[in-house]
Structure 1
Amino acid sequence: MLQIGILLIRHYKLLSLAAITDVLDTVNKIYYKNGEPAPFRITLVHTPETEHLAAAFPDYASQHTDAAGAFNLVLVPSFTTDDIRQSIIENRAYLPWMQQQYKNGAEIASFCTGAFLLGASGLLDGKIATTHVDACREFSVSFPAVNLLSDKTVTHDSGIYTSGGATSTFHLLLHLLEVHCGIEIAIKTAKIFAVDMGRDKQSYFSTFQPARNHHDDLVASAQQRIETSYQDVGTIEEMIRDIPSSRRNIVRRFKQVTGITPIEYLQFTRIEAAKKLLEQTGQQMAEVIFNSGYNDPKAFRKVFRKTVGMTPSEYREKFNAARS
């Protein structure tokens, strides 16, 4: 029987925790119905600060991080808060415990933004990982030693697993089932939860969310210029024509504040505009290309596919409201 410990972190996302327990319970029931012993023993792991959270889950055993005993698999659910850094501080008591469990041979899996707590433990340093697609930039800044694969749905490296956002939780759970129970159980569970096992990318779920919580007026001015003139401007010189600063200074400060260069910012702004046109209108592809600021269809399709992970036509087929 696989000993599974699920962390009762502060600010855990209920959907994440519910998905994890529901899938594991379902697999246990499959085995019971077949007259076989359950493959998983689920324990909720808490600290003194989170012990009260266990009362909401009376059907599961709970254990303090100071208690003796090792787990085969430790699961870290997603956070429900946007203040991830504060959440890590409030859950820092789990960090040495996770390090010790991994040292003792446990595998560790994080779901969505739970990767931030795993990243803070240092166990992801030098390894590949993923997280919610819209949290990737913050993750990269916080943990530069981690090889973040922002487009991946699931990663696995040296006994440590991570998943992308929201429904990617199910893809990681299915992957863990395949590893520990076999492909037949993974497929059976995928059918029960109506999960498409084939998805391995999440980049097309991304939304460009530029940094705004800064106080650099020069950068804010450049951002405003790009966002209002993305259909017309094409060079940095055009973007900063009336901004009282040198090109070199603007580029340096812009990247320092937003994490990307002005040209990359322009590209992401244009691609986001194209995505909205593909989602919400019936414009011909040539119109979409022109209205999002591109003149070269070949260049547009190349940049779109690289950024989004699929062609413009595939994106429209998947997300256009008129087709749903």
Structure 2
Amino acid sequence: MQTVSIIGFDGALASAITGVIDLFRLAGVTWARIHGEQPEPHFTTRLLTRNGDPCRCINGITLLSDGSWEELDADNADLVIVPTIGAPIDQVLASNADLVAWLGQFNCPNSSSSGQVRVASNCTGAFLLAEAGLLSGKEATTHWGFSNAFHQRYPGVNLHPEKLVTVDGDIACAGGGMAWWDLGINLIERHAGPKVARELAKAFVIDAGRNSQAPYSALQSKRYHSDPVILKLQDWLEEHYSQAVNLDSLATLSGLTSRSLMRRFKLATGDTPTGYLQAIRVEAARVHLESSRFPVEDVTRLVGYEDVSSFSRLFRKHTGLSPGAYRLRFGR
């Protein structure tokens, strides 16, 4: 039986701790009970904190720990999971320097010899892994709403905020909010097999087919730069996105050559002017689909496109859903 160690710290999200514990403890158990069979548990769990102190979660709940993470050696750990940071991220990072240093031992080559996922994070817990250097050069994800802050702080991480779960070597990350259940099912499949994971997902009524958090995200305006020309152009695009726009007209508006505009816009935002405009239009279309009854054809024209099929392909590229499927999921 494998041991899953969940790392507790003050300001963590309680559900990302207790929910994960429930999943692993009941893998091989709930399904068997439903069918009147003998349970076969596959995991035991431990909540580990600094010095074994209670974990005071962001919702006011205090969870008793099973011991200290300092007693756990990386070479002997089956699986370590870092939950969501619910409190201000900078505050949690600053007050957990010892935890960050402890997590750093999993960056040792000797600790990754099993070929199996051994360290994982949910949502903003990825900040703790990145702070410890575990994600440098690796693919990772985090909550879409904090992706800009993450990218700024850890530019050496190959961040994919559109993904719900990433696995790179022996490290896994999950996206925002309740993605801990997707992470849990993924890890249970890897450690206990697809049959156990599939049965647990059915028992918990979990949709195990989710792979993207793009439908839930909102436009990240990419304003963490200080180029006044590009900031002014972003303001203009966000006000006039429904108009016919091309690179030459944007260059004229900015007072730059087309080549200089492309270079400066990419440097400032990480995107092209066209790509940024598309993202604004998709975001505007989301609002219409969520709050109005306009047909998709009308929404297409309202955000600056004429061809419905082309717009639908663009919308699916950004959100992972067709406009109609998006309205069914998020519309009034």
Q: Report the TM range for the smaller structure's normalisation.
A: 0.7 to 0.9
Which residue of the partner structure matches residue 268 of structure 1?
A: 279
CA distance in 1, matches of 2:31, 2:316: 43
Q: What is the root-mean-square deviation in Å for CA atoms of aligned residues?
A: 3.1
Tell me if structure 2 keeps the 8 A contact 1:131–1:150: yes
Q: 2:122 aligns with which of 87, 104, 111?
A: 111
* Secondary structure, aligned partner of 1:65: helix
Cα distance, 1:233–1:38 mapped onto 2, change above 3 Å: same
What letter is aligned with 1:23? L
- Partner residue of 2:198 out of 155, 171, 187: 187
Say yes or no: does 1:78 pair with 2:84.
Answer: yes
* Deviation (angstroms), 1:273: 0.6
Contact 2:135 2:157 in 1 (8 A): yes
Task: Evaluate the alpha carbon distance shift between residue 235 and residue 87 of structure 1 in structure 2; reply closer, same or farther with a 3 A threshold.
Answer: farther
Aligned residues of 1:45 and 1:64 also touching (Cα < 8 A): yes
Q: Calculate percent identity across the aligned residue pairs.
A: 30
- The question of whether the paired residues in 2 share the 8 Å contact of 1:108 and 1:159 is answered with yes
Q: State how far apart, in whole Å, the 1-side matches of 2:139 and 2:213 are.
A: 16
Of 171, 189, 197, which aligns to 1:178?
189
Aligned positions, number: 318
1: distance between equivalents of 2:278 and 2:30?
A: 49
Residue type of the alignment partner of 2:55: L
TM-score (norm. length: structure 2): 0.82
* AA partner of residue 200 (structure 1): N
**Is it true that 1:149 corresponds to 2:160 in the alignment?**
yes
Kindly tell me: are residues 262 and 51 of structure 1, through their superposed partners in 2, closer, same or farther at Cα, counting changes over 3 Å?
A: farther
Corresponding residue for residue 101 of structure 2: 96
Relative distance call for 1:66 and 1:276 in structure 2 (3 A) is same
> Alpha carbons of 1:216 and 1:158: their partners in 2 closer, same or farther (altered >3 Å)?
closer
- Listed as ranges, the gaps of 5+ residues in structure 1 are none
Offset of residue 111 of structure 1: 0.7
Alpha-carbon displacement from aligned partner over 1:132-156 (angstroms, at most 9, x marks no partner)? 2333343334333333333322222
List gaps (5 residues or longer) in structure 2. Answer: none
Matches of 2:28 and 2:9, distance apart in 1 = 24
Identify if the C-alpha distance between structure 1 residues 84 and 251 changes in structure 2 by more than 3 Å, giving closer, same or farther.
farther
CA distance in 1, matches of 2:95, 2:273: 36
Cα shift at 1:216: 5.1
Question: Which digits, 9 at most, give the CA deviation of each residue in 1:296-323, with x for residues without a partner?
Answer: 33432232121112222222232222xx
- Given that 2:148 and 2:222 are in contact with CA atoms closer than 8 Å, whether structure 1 keeps it comes out as no
| Matching residue of 1:18 | 18
TM-score, length of structure 1 as denominator length? 0.84
CA distance in 2, matches of 1:262, 1:85: 32
